[in-house]
Amino acid sequence: MARWLSAFAWLSGLALLLIVVIVLQKPRIDSDILALMPQSDTRIDSVETHFFAANKQQVMFSITGDNAKQVHDRLNNWLIDNGLPARFNVPKIDTLSQFYAPYAGRLLSEDYRAAIENQHTFSAFYYQKLSQIADPFVSATINLDASLSLASFLTGQMQKLQTFNLEENRLTVSYQDAKYYLLFAQIKDNAFGIEQAQQLSTSIKQQLQQLAVDFPHTKVRYSGALFHTSANASQAKYEMTLFGTLSLVALIAMIVWVFRSGIALWLASLTVMSAILGGAAVLLAVFAQVHILTLVFAVTLIGIAIDYSFHGMLDLSSSEQKGYSRGLKLALFLSLLTTSLGYASLFFSPMLLLAQVGVFVVAGLFSAWLCTLLITRQWQHQLIIAAPILNLADKLNTFLQSLLHLRRYVIIASVGLIAACYLYAPISLNNDVRLLNASPQALITNEAFHLSLLGRDTGQIMIMFADDEQALLEQLTTFKAAVKLRSPDAKLNLLSDLLPSKVMQKRNSALVEEKQKQGVFTALENMTRQPFSASTKTLTLDALLSSPLAPLIAQQVMQGDEFVASWFMVTDVPESVLAEFASADPQLLSYNKVALLSEGLTHYSHSLLITLGCAILLAALLFAWRFKIKCAFKQTAVLMLTIAIILSLCSVLQGSLSIFNLLGSLLVMALSIDYLVFYQINQLSRENIIAISLSAASSMWVFGMLAMSITPAIYSFGLTIMIGLVTIFVLAPLTLAVPKSKENR
């Protein structure tokens, strides 16, 4: 009775700790892929947060087909009814004209500058503009600015700003001989929790399905971060449920098969539950926001934690004394130490996912180790190994001894396999951040198609930094002139187009005054019977941020305490040319989020390779301290051979390696050291062979489940560990000199 009370008290204490942490921390599960990524420098982080937060909240729809207009209106009304307003409505021309009117003459388009070269060219330009009765900018501004400088300025800017047309308050664009109606909706800030994202995504898809039924000849495409969040969260939850269930079933089957006892199943479950509760409590205490992929990777904790239970129960079942043998206690401690060190190296990872997995697993393993030492031993007399399992252990013993006699040939074959793999597919790293994405291909295709509709598929995002507003505007003007000189067909929509610098506005005003004195505006003055002069009022950024264009301007400029920045898109310019400009100007950044993140992962991959090297060195020192130099040399050689086989085979099967193969190799390293330690301490005893075989089989099953994931990162992780476990299971016994009986307890 006392042992049941102690087990219940142990579990209750862990559960209570987890509840307290949840109440105090109020943790949140996140599924935003970008939240996992290494952070850039502070300046870039601030710019990203400002410029792209709104883009993250946008969803886009494109509609084409026989009834596109009706579908557009139905969908637009549904979005409004469900609290999803349009992100940015194109301002009315009259409203824009009223705002810009006080600055007439200080804002000049390139066409207008050319037109006021002399009286003749201006007269031709002026009368040609007046004849365009259908031009909305002329009709809207003629009473505000008779010189039509304002009409010319607004016409040019609106044409550049709009890659689409406005038809009866509907946005349209022509692409590949088809017309598309566009809708942009703004998602609320709180819609990116997993449940909210899935509910909203499901609701939108249901509405689209209904529209497809009502209008079968109309096609609607959708895109946006919301749908990626929902898709990745759904896939992660599905895989957690599937992998966790299959792993649990397999583990139950293994335990029942070996012990034929409900007590053994209870003790194994107790160990796993202890690991999960302890790991979760510490994880949530350290991180208030946990990514859902952390939980997918953390499923692997089941396969590691249950090893302690296997070794403990098998040692107790064969022990003639009370409690664990001395060898088992030492082996368990060394196992905890080495595995924890392996995962602890992830604590300082710049990638949040790896840091969270490291915290969860180390804390979980410590809980499992304590549970094994304190709780499991109380059921010693009820643990008996089934006779068929002992017979199987004897057969495995014979097999392993035969391997020892063939050790030289096994090693030669392993080296030959590595060489053949390398010749077939030389090792290379591919750390594309999209390896973390499990979104459906249809959604990825929609994203690419919408970029094409908006003319952004061939563009490059650039970010310009400056000390203050005026310096920024002048730098943008200089950059545009330089780009146009190199690539005359380049397209740039810059803040300085809508807001010329004070110097440029003053220069424009002076130019107009000079041309007025030269009589260029004679035709205008004869018509209006008033002398023409430019405005003396200066347009500022603060004024523009209070204008009808404020939503657009706010997305293009950021004002910080130490700097200001503007982002913009450049198209029809070779990337090499833009790279030259960026390398020559420290204030200019050629921005590619995927490339930046992938570069960060590659940098961390190199660090992880160094970590693997350090782990091998640390293991060698541990082996030399505990098992002497000769044995340490053989064990270290096996570790290196195992890692080489893993990387070679994964390179062949995947075509390249990623950071997740290296992460998997680090875990295999920790498990491999466990097996080598247990073999050296407990030799080829039946209990040790059964425990290691069960450990390997359970881990292979758990990690093999991950190799079925459709998320490339998880697949790579699972495949790496599967290959590594098979390899170390074969190679680890080769470090033994000759079969020995178990050390005195």
In DSSP notation, 709-729 reads: -SSHHHHHHHHHHHHHHHHHH
Whether the predicted pLDDT of 70 surpasses 60 = yes
How far apart CA 213 and CA 221 sit, in angstroms, is: 15
pTM: 0.70
Whether the predicted pLDDT of 743 surpasses 60 = no
How far apart CA 649 and CA 431 sit, in angstroms, is: 18
- Annotate 387-435 with DSSP letters as a single string: HHHHHHHHHHHHHHHHHHHTHHHHHHHHHHHHHHHHHHS---B---GGG
Q: Which of 238, 279, 287 is nearest to 28 (CA)?
A: 287
Which of the four pLDDT bands, split at 50, 70 and 90, describes residue 489?
confident
Q: Contacts by 321-327 with C-beta closer than 8 Å and gap 24+?
A: 321/745, 322/380, 323/377, 323/380, 324/373, 324/377, 325/742, 325/745, 326/743, 326/744, 326/745, 327/681, 327/682, 327/742, 327/743, 327/745
How far apart CA 280 and CA 273 sit, in angstroms, is: 10
How far apart CA 328 and CA 311 sit, in angstroms, is: 8
Beta bridge partners of 570: 460, 492
Per-residue pLDDT tens over the stretch 661-674: 888 888 788 788 88
pLDDT of residue 366: 93
Q: Which of 635, 603, 643, 604 is nearest to 618 (CA)?
A: 635
pLDDT of residue 683: 84
pLDDT of residue 297: 64
pLDDT of residue 745: 40
Contact (Cβ atoms closer than 8 angstroms) between residue 185 and residue 86: yes
Look-up of token digits 């909210």: 196
Contact (Cβ atoms closer than 8 angstroms) between residue 544 and residue 499: yes
Whether the predicted pLDDT of 350 surpasses 80 = no
Integer Rg of the chain from CA: 34
pLDDT of residue 82: 85
Which of the four pLDDT bands, split at 50, 70 and 90, describes residue 562?
confident
Single-letter amino acid code for the residue at 421? C
pLDDT of residue 55: 66
Contact (Cβ atoms closer than 8 angstroms) between residue 49 and residue 193: no
Between 2-6, 405-409, 683-687, 734-738, the lowest mean confidence (pLDDT) is in 734-738
| Section 487-511 average pLDDT | 89
**Coil, helix or strand at residue 497:** helix
Across 283-297, 483-497, 690-704, the highest mean pLDDT is recorded for 483-497
Q: Which of 682, 672, 690 is nearest to 739 (CA)?
A: 682
CA distances from 11 to 64, 179, 730 (A): 59, 63, 37
Ranges of beta strands (E only) in 400-548 are 460-466, 491-492
pLDDT of residue 5: 87
How far apart CA 677 and CA 688 sit, in angstroms, is: 11
| Section 620-637 average pLDDT | 87
Whether the predicted pLDDT of 34 surpasses 60 = no
User: CB under 8 Å to 573, separation ≥6 — which residues?
Assistant: 460, 483, 486, 487, 490
Whether the predicted pLDDT of 214 surpasses 70 = yes
Per-residue pLDDT tens over the stretch 157-211: 776 666 666 677 778 888 888 889 888 887 765 445 667 777 888 899 999 999 9
First to last CA, the chain: 29
| Section 726-732 average pLDDT | 91
Contact (Cβ atoms closer than 8 angstroms) between residue 497 and residue 505: no
Contact (Cβ atoms closer than 8 angstroms) between residue 365 and residue 340: yes
The number of beta carbons lying within 10 Å of the beta carbon of residue 475 is 20
| Section 358-377 average pLDDT | 89
Between 80-89, 323-332, 395-404, 439-448, the lowest mean confidence (pLDDT) is in 80-89
**Vertex 302, ends 299 and 307: CA angle to 5°?**
150
**Vertex 51, ends 46 and 53: CA angle to 5°?**
90
Whether the predicted pLDDT of 742 surpasses 50 = no
Single-letter amino acid code for the residue at 218? T
| Section 600-606 average pLDDT | 74
Per-residue pLDDT tens over the stretch 297-316: 666 677 678 788 888 888 88
* Region of residue 440 (phi > 0: left; psi between -120 and 50: alpha; otherwise: beta): beta
Whether the predicted pLDDT of 474 surpasses 90 = yes
| Section 39-61 average pLDDT | 71
| Section 729-744 average pLDDT | 71
pLDDT of residue 349: 65
Q: What percent of the chain has pLDDT over 90?
A: 15
How far apart CA 178 and CA 393 sit, in angstroms, is: 71
Which is more confidently placed, 705 or 52? 705
pLDDT of residue 652: 92
How far apart CA 674 and CA 527 sit, in angstroms, is: 95
Whether the predicted pLDDT of 16 surpasses 90 = yes
pLDDT of residue 658: 84
Between 108-112, 368-372, 671-675, the lowest mean confidence (pLDDT) is in 671-675
How far apart CA 560 and CA 544 sit, in angstroms, is: 17
pLDDT of residue 415: 93
| Section 442-460 average pLDDT | 81
Which of the four pLDDT bands, split at 50, 70 and 90, describes residue 744?
very low
Largest CA distance in the chain: 118
3-state secondary structure 337-376: HHHHHHHHCCCCCCCHHHHHHHHHHHHHHHHHHHHHHHCH
Whether the predicted pLDDT of 699 surpasses 70 = yes
pLDDT of residue 370: 92
Which of the four pLDDT bands, split at 50, 70 and 90, describes residue 522?
confident
Beta bridge partners of 86: 185
Q: Which of 224, 108, 221 is nearest to 175 (CA)?
A: 221
pLDDT of residue 36: 56
Per-residue pLDDT tens over the stretch 412-431: 999 999 999 989 888 888 77
